[in-house]
């Protein structure tokens, strides 16, 4: 049977588009109950994708090599890889960490790339839930705020972090609106402890020499100081709207974390070690 010419052409176009999208959004499946999303580390600026006209377009430099090291250090310790979804597009072309309209601004290729990023993240979450029961998504970023700490975002605004432990633990509506909603139910520790106790992610990282916010040493941002509490990725794929995968936005400073390969490695080791303890304490299971 002869294949009609238009069908042949559209199949070829589709194949080319699929290959293009696979280059723009890299998807790696894993075996650990951990998902890494890296939305802002890309450098590709293809001519056929229109430049975004508004919103933030600055790249999170070195977050891709940093994520590679985190993957390696997790594998070394726990014998498996995390799932990873990495945007290779420069943020002037796509911002996956925003709603579709602001993210792609009408460009058809950027729209398709956004869908690939989020469909893949959701698929990874579904796999983790099916295979491991529950898990954690870390959305990896970089910031240049004056106070050079790793900012951990739980969808709790900086001014709310100023509250006392009792106030935080007593605010059911606030807890339900965070991306660790399900983890709060699962963990034997309180919500405030999950945010800034010694075994919070900030506490575990600080114990390994990485300054964090929130953490036992820094409960909330200083007066007028900037702090990123989380945006689209953690809201869309964390446990705020259901499911058993919780999410944390990990905003890495430039100094001492992203600036050199040695510092990137040191952070990756600290994070991998911390996650082992974090899973035992809060998820009640070993990563291995």
CB 59 within 8 A of CB 108: no
Q: Which of 60, 139, 182, 206 binds Zn ion (CB under 5 A)?
A: 60
Residue 56 CB, nearest approach to Zn ion (Å): 8
Residue 226: both structure tokens together: 């900037």
| Cβ distance to Zn ion smaller for residue 59 or 190 | 59
CB of 41 to Zn ion, least distance (A): 8
Burial of 137 (0-12, 13-18, 19+ CB in 10 A): buried
Q: What is the DSSP letter of 146?
A: S
- The region of 6-14, 33-41, 108-116, 121-129 touching Zn ion under the rule CB under 5 A is 33-41
Please give the residues from 116 up to 155 whose contact with Zn ion meets the rule CB under 5 A: 141
CA dist 17 and 112 (Å) reads: 9
**Does residue 107 bind Zn ion (CB under 5 A)?**
no
Cβ 86 to Zn ion, closest distance in Å?
A: 13
Taking CB under 5 A as the binding criterion, the range among 34-42, 152-160, 172-180, 187-195 that sits at the site for Zn ion is: 34-42
Who's near 93: CB < 8 A, 6+ residues apart?
Answer: 44, 45, 46, 49, 50, 51, 52, 107, 110
Q: Is the peptide bond before 247 cis (omega within 30 degrees of 0)?
A: no
Part of the chain binding Zn ion (CB under 5 A), chosen from 7-15, 59-67, 185-193, 269-277 = 59-67
Q: Which is nearer to Zn ion, 37 or 178 (CB)?
A: 37
Phi/psi at 200 (5° precision):
-70, 165
Cβ atoms of 212 and 227 closer than 8 Å: no
Considering only 40, 83, 98, 181, the residue that binds Zn ion (CB under 5 A) is 40
Beta carbon of residue 164, minimum distance to Zn ion (angstroms, whole number): 30
185 Cβ partners below 8 Å, 6+ apart?
none
Segment contacting Zn ion by CB under 5 A, of 37-45, 74-82, 237-245, 259-267: 37-45
Q: List residues binding Zn ion (CB under 5 A).
A: 40, 60, 141
């Amino acid at each position: 049977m002869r294949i009609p010419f238009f069908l042949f052409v559209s199949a070829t176009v589709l194949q080319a588009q699929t290959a293009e999208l696979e280059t723009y959004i890299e998807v790696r499946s894993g075996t650990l109950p951990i998902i890494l999303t890296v939305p802002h580390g890309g450098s590709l600026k293809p001519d056929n994708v229109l430049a975004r006209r508004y919103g933030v377009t600055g790249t999170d430099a070195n977050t891709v090599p940093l994520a590679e090291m985190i993957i390696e250090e997790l594998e070394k310790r726990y014998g498996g890889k995390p799932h990873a979804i990495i945007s290779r597009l420069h943020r002037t072309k796509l911002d996956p960490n925003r709603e579709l309209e602001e993210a792609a601004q009408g460009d058809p290729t950027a729209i398709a790339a956004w869908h690939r990023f989020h469909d893949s993240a959701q698929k990874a979450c579904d796999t983790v839930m099916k295979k491991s029961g529950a898990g954690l998504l870390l959305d990896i970023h970089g910031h240049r705020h004056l106070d050079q700490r790793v900012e951990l975002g739980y969808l709790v605004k900086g001014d709310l972090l100023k509250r006392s432990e009792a106030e935080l633990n007593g605010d059911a509506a606030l807890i339900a609106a965070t991306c660790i909603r399900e983890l709060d139910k699962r963990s034997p520790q309180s919500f405030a402890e999950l945010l800034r106790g010694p075994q919070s992610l900030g506490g575990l990282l600080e114990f390994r020499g990485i300054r964090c916010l929130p953490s036992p040493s820094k409960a909330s941002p200083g007066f007028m100081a900037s702090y990123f509490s989380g945006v689209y990725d953690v809201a869309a794929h964390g446990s705020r709207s259901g499911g058993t995968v919780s999410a944390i936005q990990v905003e890495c400073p430039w100094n001492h974390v992203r600036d050199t390969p040695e510092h990137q490695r040191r952070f990756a080791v600290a994070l991998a070690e911390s996650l082992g303890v974090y899973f035992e304490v809060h998820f009640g299971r070993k990563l291995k």
